[in-house]
Amino acid sequence: MSFDNIKQSDVEFVEERMSQTMEQDKEEKALVRKIDLYLLPTIWIMYLLSYMDRTNIGNAKVAGMTKDLGMDSNQYSISLIVFFITYVLFEVPSNLILSRTKPSIFLPAIMVLWGTTTCCMSQVKTYHQLVALRTIIGVLEAGFAPGVILILSSWYKKNEQSKRFALYIGAAVLSGAFGGIIAGAITENLEGAHGLRGWRWLFIVEGAATVGWAIIAAFILPDFPANTKRLTERERELAISRLEADNVHSRTEDSARLTSLQALKQSVTNWRTWILIAGYMVIVGSSTLSYFYPTLVEGLGYTSHMAQYMVVPIYAVAFVCVGVTGYFSDKFPHHRGVIIACWLAVSMICAVVICVVYNYTARYVLLVFMAAGLWSTNGCSLSYAASTFGSMEQETRAVSLALVNALGNLAQIYGAYLFPSEDAPKYLLGFGVISGMCAFGVVVYAAAHVLLRKYIQK
């Protein structure tokens, strides 16, 4: 064969490989768009409703629930705490169940149950009844957040995850904003309708919306890449292969399954799990602030109904910051630890200044930026954990992600006591503790940036 023929053959080979690569990239982009279409809007609305059901007790408090039930500040804190106790205890078992079943069945089912229980909260007559129902909701919601984290980490490559987690957390942010608007509208316009107080209608309306969307979600939500019916066989193969190329373990139909004890042992003996748990506990513990937004804003001199609406700008700014953080976190996946540490530093500075500045307007502005920092770190820290655990077996990853979320939410138990009514209007205890937690978080995530970089591949 002549030199010219060899050269022509090489050119044709390169062109063929380039064509195959372009075709595969095009096919992969089409697959990601399809996954996004099925998965993201569905879980976005699910989480929006979930967070509204979880936090509407704060709006109900401002609307007169505690007065009607004869509750004091300590009893209100207990009604918050019982939710998190069962929520924490049942997260790992729930994720182990999810890893062995279908998300399209498991998640909508528990959603119907907690939505129904939320509706039942409208009928409580005593503090003890409220505590009992909040306990049940904690059990039922325990499987949702870690389940969604597991699903997102099972579908997306590491440099695709931060934007998706930002969208997921954005639902919680907007639910706070919409929750304030809806709570203000319901408690004001339905007050006394059919003999029910406005805060009771709040539970009915939001619980019914949750049940309705859960039924719809059962027909849309995809399962895991290997067993979903929403994709063709070729699309399932591509979904698995692209994750394997990114060092993300994805289960196939013939993969050996770890037992629950094996998965638990692998998770708790891995140091990566514990450093990310420590960091997330700081973020979630500080974020209990969100349960007191209406109370804090009301303490700035606004009426009960106006306090509901003045919460909206806090969430609006946070929503923008969450989106921007998610975008840049995927652009620079090796620097997620630094990004989180910087946002925690912003929140820490705001918390410190709030402790020494008592001007209402200044405190409100600082509260806005403090909340933006905390919300922005939330989604980024979850994508950081999901990427770090990507190479683990699916059952081990399920346990590790559930532990991060569960033990992180354990911080909300003591967080519920940070803003007692007797500390109004300065709330020095709460803001002081949050500033200290944020400072610790800066140290943790700066250390994580150094120690975990090799586990995050672009």
Q: Convert the pLDDT of each residue in 371-414 to its tens digit.
A: 999 999 988 998 899 888 877 887 888 889 889 988 887 877 77
Does residue 453 carry a pLDDT above 90?
no
CB 353 within 8 A of CB 417: no
Q: CA 450, CA 458: separation in Å to the nearest integer?
A: 16
pTM: 0.78
Residue 193: CB atoms within 10 Å: 12
Q: Please work out, in degrees rounded to the nearest 5, the angle formed at the alpha carbon of residue 221 by the alpha carbons of 219 and 222.
A: 115
Quick check: is 19 in a domain?
A: no
Task: Give me 425's structure tokens.
Answer: 């209007």
- The number of domains in the chain is 1
Task: Give me 302's structure tokens.
Answer: 């606004």
Quick check: is 451 in a domain?
A: yes
DSSP three-state, residue 190: coil
Q: Which tens digits make up the pLDDT trace of 286-298? A: 887 776 676 677 6
Range(s) of the domain holding residue 224: 41-249+257-455
Residue identified by tokens 């304030």 is: 180
Question: Greater confidence, 99 or 14?
Answer: 99
Quick check: is 341 in a domain?
A: yes
Q: Please work out, in degrees rounded to the nearest 5, the angle formed at the alpha carbon of residue 382 by the alpha carbons of 265 and 458.
A: 95
Quick check: is 20 in a domain?
A: no
Task: State the DSSP code for 384.
Answer: H
CB 106 within 8 A of CB 417: no
Q: CA 170, CA 390: separation in Å to the nearest integer?
A: 23
Comparing C-alpha atoms, which of 178, 78, 168 is closest to residue 132?
A: 78
Does residue 458 carry a pLDDT above 50?
no
* pLDDT band of 129, cuts 50, 70, 90: very high
CB 263 within 8 A of CB 380: no
Residue 432's alpha-carbon distances to 347, 354, 377, in angstroms, are: 12, 9, 19
The CA-based dihedral angle spanning residues 204, 206, 208, 214, taken in that order and rounded to the nearest 10 degrees: -160
Q: Which tens digits make up the pLDDT trace of 315-349? A: 889 999 999 999 998 888 888 999 999 999 999 99
Q: What is the pLDDT of residue 26?
A: 85
Does residue 20 carry a pLDDT above 80?
no
Does residue 302 carry a pLDDT above 70?
no
Residue 241: CB atoms within 10 Å: 14
Q: CA 109, CA 344: separation in Å to the nearest integer?
A: 36
CB 163 within 8 A of CB 392: no
CB 28 within 8 A of CB 155: no
Quick check: is 3 in a domain?
A: no
First vs last C-alpha separation in the chain? 42
Quick check: is 23 in a domain?
A: no
Kindly report the CATH number assigned to the domain that includes residue 105. 1.20.1250.20
How far, in whole angstroms, is CA 248 from its chain's centroid?
A: 21
Quick check: is 12 in a domain?
A: no
Residue 69: phi, psi to the nearest 5? -95, 0
CB 392 within 8 A of CB 249: yes
DSSP three-state, residue 429: helix
Q: Which amino acid is at 355?
A: C
Average pLDDT over the chain, rounded to whole? Answer: 84
Residue 436's alpha-carbon distances to 263, 374, 433, 441, in angstroms, are: 34, 14, 5, 9
Residue identified by tokens 């806090």 is: 314
